[in-house]
Amino acid sequence: MGLVVQKYGGSSVADAASVKRVAARIVETKRAGHDVVVIVSAMGDTTDDLIALAEQVSPNPAARELDMLLTAGERISMAVLAMAIHDLGIEARSYTGSQAGLITDSAHGRARIIDVTPGRIQAAIADGAVPIVAGFQGVAQDTKDITTLGRGGSDTTAVALAAALGADVCEIYTDVDGIFTADPRIAPKARQVPYITYEEMLELAANGAKVLHLRCVEYARRFDLPIHVRSSFSSKTGTFVVSDISRAQGDAVEQPIIAGVAHDMGDAKITVVGVPDKPGMAAGIFRAVADAEVNLDMIVQNVSAAATGRTDVTFTCPQADGQKALAALEKVKHEIEFEDLRYDDDIAKVSLVGAGMRSHPGVSATFFRALSDAGVNVEMISTSEIRISVVTRTESAATAVQAVHTAFGLDADGEAVIYGGTGR
């Protein structure tokens, strides 16, 4: 008997039948003698639909109101899930993020959790009820306005509540069996791993893996809270995200060299053409971009052409920030005296991640050989201690991921099962 926190994603509660199926699963855990706290996402594509609705009404929806609108999605799922659990003879009570004590800052659309005061949740548990908490939302400490944590934020709600409640584990239910060595949607030979470290999961999530929200992994690492990612469509054991694989597994297994291959199609590449090659120019470019609150990823500067004394500076950023970045650069064009701007969002980033890279030579050689044998052209390269990433054309992404996956011996014998629809 322990405290289990379970989070169900949108694809696990997509319609009435799924809601009932999830309810049965929760009741089963409860009847097995555990206390259960549930975090739920909006049903299916509800959040996307609500965003589309807002955009029909207003080209640039007010941030406070957009948050209020989006939190309605999770209110629907938490209420219907509680009803379904009631019908199975167990008391369930739904709570908004605010009621559950999720206190955030007031940055609408990307609020950060600054405190968790789960008094009402603890009281519900003490009463023998199952609290059902709306994911991805909270209330701002200063303004008292309703906030959202950013897309995919229900994972973070779950981990934050699990940590605050001192849960033994946070189970994240999704539409695949666990964490895979690549996205099974583009790499059918992807293999499920039993364990992965926070460190590797952070790199994968930061580089496009959508199975877990980046901030949820950061949070879990901070509290050393194990996450169990598993499917709500099967009863198989999924993947545990932990700090130390040998410790978690309890025997002397060596950690695999490579954890997986991630891809990201959401970035754009901006090239500032003909930048005078003198001190302060890069600083000017990146100051302008930073002031527009654009997050950069990779940066490359070419060697300058001797004849002109000018160079090109290329960087990547989220597509959603692309126009903002261009506008900010356009404003400093005369000051920096660059010649032109180029924008390209037909790119994909492919990343190889593994803590073993630190101590195993030859990983880069195998990686680039695999890409070249597959005819994939590399446009940009960046690395961290445990990651190598390249930018390539969008149309080459699947080929690149599959080639690298095979080259590192990650291919499974069978094909991965995908139960749901959206990848969230």
- Residues of this chain that interact with ligand ASP (CB under 6 A) are 9-10, 41-42, 47, 73, 135-136, 151-154, 424
| Residue 238 contacts which entry, Mg ion, ligand ASP, none (Cβ below 5-8 A, type-dependent) | none
Taking each continuous run of H as one helix and of E as one strand, the counts in the chain are 13, 20
Min dist CB 171 to ligand ASP, Å, is 15
Q: How far is the CB of 136 from ligand ASP (least distance, A)?
A: 4
Task: Determine which helix (DSSP H) or strand (DSSP E) holds 227, and give its type and residue range.
Answer: strand 227-231
Nearer to ligand ASP, 274 or 420 (CB): 420
Q: Widest CA span of the chain, in angstroms?
A: 80
- β pairing state of 340-344 and 267-276: antiparallel
Least CB distance to ligand ASP at residue 135 (A): 5
CB of 110 to Mg ion, least distance (A): 16
Phi, psi of 169 (to 5 degrees): -155, 150
Q: In what order do the strands lie in the sheet with 92-95?
A: 92-95, 130-134, 35-40, 3-8, 169-174, 227-231, 239-242, 195-197
Q: Which residue's C-beta sits nearest to ligand ASP?
A: 154
Cα–chain-centroid distance for residue 266? 12
DSSP string, 195-209: EEEHHHHHHHHHTT-
CB-wise, 387 or 424, nearer to Mg ion?
424
Question: By C-beta, is 10 or 322 nearer to Mg ion?
Answer: 10
Q: Helical H runs in 150-279?
A: 154-165, 198-206, 214-223, 245-249
Number of residues that bind Mg ion (CB under 5 A): 3
Which three-class secondary structure state does DSSP give residue 30?
helix
Q: Going residue by residue from 171 to 210, which x/- string records binding to Mg ion, judged by CB under 5 A?
A: ----------------------------------------
CA 112 to chain centroid: 15
Question: Between residues 41 and 98, which has the closer beta carbon with respect to Mg ion?
Answer: 41
Rounded to an integer, what is the distance from CA 91 to the centroid of its chain?
32
Three-state DSSP state, 114: strand
Of Mg ion, ligand ASP, none, which one does residue 34 interact with (CB within 5 to 8 Å by kind)? none
Strand order in the sheet with 310-318: 299-301, 310-318, 267-276, 340-344
Nearest residue to Mg ion, by Cβ distance, number only: 10
Residue closer to ligand ASP by CB (options 220, 403) is: 220
Residue 78 or 400: the one with the smaller Cβ distance to ligand ASP is 78
Per partner kind, with CB cut-offs from 5 to 8 A, the member of Mg ion, ligand ASP, none near residue 207 is none
Report, in Å, the least distance between residue 128 CB and Mg ion.
Answer: 30
Q: At what angle do helices 281-291 and 322-331 cross, to 10 degrees?
A: 130
Closest to ligand ASP by CB, 6 or 41: 41
Adjacency order of strands within the sheet including 387-393? 260-264, 347-353, 387-393, 380-384
Q: State which of positions 10-49 bind Mg ion (CB under 5 A).
A: 10, 41
Nearer to ligand ASP, 189 or 210 (CB): 210
Q: Which does 153 bind (CB under 5 to 8 A by kind): Mg ion, ligand ASP, none?
A: ligand ASP
324: partner contacted, choices Mg ion, ligand ASP, none (Cβ within 5-8 A by kind): none
Q: How far is the CB of 68 from ligand ASP (least distance, A)?
A: 14
Q: Which does 104 bind (CB under 5 to 8 A by kind): ligand ASP, Mg ion, none?
A: none
Cβ 150 to ligand ASP shortest distance, Å: 8
Residue 100 amino acid letter: A
Q: Whole-number minimum distance, CB 151 to Mg ion, in Å?
A: 7
Q: Binding of Mg ion at residue 230 (CB under 5 A)? A: no
For residue 1, what are its two tokens?
């008997």
- Residue closer to ligand ASP by CB (options 154, 396) is 154
Q: Take residue 204 and report the two structure tokens written for it.
A: 């994968």
Residue with tokens 């007010």: 62
**In the bound complex, what is the minimum distance in angstroms from residue 154's beta carbon to ligand ASP?**
3
Residue 197, binding choice from ligand ASP, Mg ion, none, Cβ under 5 to 8 Å by partner class = none
Q: Which is nearer to ligand ASP, 173 or 367 (CB)?
A: 173
CB of 157 to ligand ASP, least distance (A): 8
Q: Is 424 in the site for Mg ion (CB under 5 A)?
A: yes
The CA–CA distances, whole Å, from 75 to 9, 80, 118, 282, 358 equal 14, 9, 18, 47, 45
Closest of 310, 328, 309 to residue 270, by C-alpha: 328
Contact residues toward Mg ion (CB under 5 A) are 10, 41, 424
